[in-house]
Amino acid sequence: MRLTLAQLDPTIGDIPGNLERARRAIRAARRGQPGGGGASSLIVLPELVICGYPPRDLLLRDGFVAACERAIQDLAREAIAITAIVGTPWRAEGPRGVRNAAAVLRDGAIVARHDKILLPGYDVFDEDRYFDPGSAATVVDVDGTRVAIAICEDLWRGADAGYASRYPWDPVDAWAEARRTSGCDLLVALSASPFVRGKDERHMALLRSISARLGIPVAQVNQVGANDDLVFDGRSAIVRPAGGIARLPAFVEAAVTVSPMDGGTVPAGDPGGADAWSSMSHPADDADAETFAALTCAIRGYVRKTGHERVLIGLSGGIDSAVTAALATAALGAGAVQGVLMPSRHSSPGSIDDALDLVRRLGLPPPLRIPIEPGHAALGGMIAAAMPGAGAGITDENIQSRLRGLVLMGLSNGTGALVLSTGNKSELAVGYATLYGDMCGAIAPLGDLVKTRVYALARWMNASFDRAGFSAPPIPEASITKPPSAELRPDQCDQDTLPAYDVLDDIVERLIDADAAPREIEDALVASGRLPAAEVRRIIRAIDRAEYKRFQAAVIPKLTPRAFGRGRPWPIVAGAGA
């Protein structure tokens, strides 16, 4: 038996486009690859590939699921002399009337269907809001090979995300029983499992464990690309009980054809035409390389899938705007990234020089230079005339930031380019950001990276510039080494207001990523002598109070177990005892 796994990059709601992607993949598997042997017996595509994942409330729109069903019936005409297993929503009996299904296509017809059994309702997942669960394991015959079907959580049971199992039973038990009673030779799993740093290792450990437990090969095909706040890394794989693995690369559409029962592997081409297969290969052999690949994928996916071509970035000479610009350049090309310098009376000559050095290093178009001093003076005077004394202090600082946001959004309106917000997770956590100012933008690529990880990513890009696709180190050294400052008042430094970033980031990662109790965090930092108890409590209160800002923030690509946004629906108004 020959099996093709095709990891595809669907766009949510683009049923015709997703259908065409699936068609190309099936045709390629059906005819075999040049120099790669004969045709496949079976091709498996990702979870909900016909509608894209996650479809969210599109599933509630009248006619949407029916359109997906028509697309599957159309796709079945491609399944001649091959079996295709394809993810799609499907209408069925139940309180919600929809299942997350895998349709089995053969000889021009839908011959079977597996309905996802375990529906996650944690973190970014809300499948239990939309779908009714399946209740039984499904096994189909493909040219004499008994193939069991799973969909994502049926296999992972939350363990891949670091959650203890919250389900009353394990579908692996049902597959084991099917193997004992009626025979089961291969397990295939359709996934749309979002990227999280470190999750791939847990995926592979689970695949090995299930393969060894069942005594059969296990093949898993995962969605790739970015949709909204989620990034999908692909990394589809097949694991055999005796050892032996075949992998697809990370963050690119690709396909591989394998002979799962004997372990033979035949490379197959990218369903779109370019050969992307690399045996046991992915670009994530360290955390910074993985972060770089995920964020460039997130930017590229968001910009292109929303129909845009170019982006605007306010360049301050600081580390956040430099890293954001470098990521955008890697994702879209230098010609698609327009930098904007907006100096004020407080901008240092060094910061302007660093921004210009960044433009030169990245090969960006000449930056736009729009000083904000005339607007700053005029708006400050307007406010002071209406309410004497009101325009000083933090108000004056925020006027500058909001003027920069106004300039960027005005340029966006005039050019059609998207604004990228440059804020990081540390700033968003404590509210060290200005609503309608530096928070302006369509997407915040660094919004799930704490400040110390931003610095680490900058150093990795400079040390591995050729690997990242640059011709020279992209980040000016001064942007890395100088003390961080918003430059909104004379001699300002971030640490005038915040603890050292290594300490702040420890609090943020404990409180947000690990959901640790505030008292536990306080005790740990006090015991280590890193911060007084009152200061720890001040920071934690600031994190809770800043939720109203985060509620209005740009889209934040998810990189960690707990990103701000959909995966952390925190109340805006919460009492001090929360």
Contact 81, 30 (CB under 8 A): yes
Spatial distance between the Cα atoms of 411 and 478, rounded to a whole number of angstroms: 28
Spatial distance between the Cα atoms of 139 and 185, rounded to a whole number of angstroms: 10
Spatial distance between the Cα atoms of 331 and 334, rounded to a whole number of angstroms: 9
Contact 244, 237 (CB under 8 A): no
**Contact residues for 296 (Cβ-Cβ < 8 A; gap 6+):** 251, 327, 330, 331
**Burial status of residue 259 (CB atoms within 10 A of its CB: 0-12, 13-18, 19 or more):** middle
3-class secondary structure, 284: coil
3-class secondary structure, 453: helix
Q: Which residue has the tokens 């610095």?
A: 455
Spatial distance between the Cα atoms of 415 and 57, rounded to a whole number of angstroms: 31
Amino acid at 97: G
H-assigned helices in 182-318:
199-214, 287-305
Residue 553 φ/ψ, nearest 5 degrees: -80, 165
Spatial distance between the Cα atoms of 439 and 391, rounded to a whole number of angstroms: 21
**H or E element: which one contains 419?**
strand 418-419
Spatial distance between the Cα atoms of 1 and 42, rounded to a whole number of angstroms: 8
Q: Which residue has the tokens 């005796």?
A: 242
Closest CA relative to residue 108, chosen from 139, 143, 81? 81
CA atoms within a 13 Å half-sphere pointing along the CA-CB vector of 86: 34
Spatial distance between the Cα atoms of 401 and 409, rounded to a whole number of angstroms: 12
Catalytic positions are 47, 116, 152
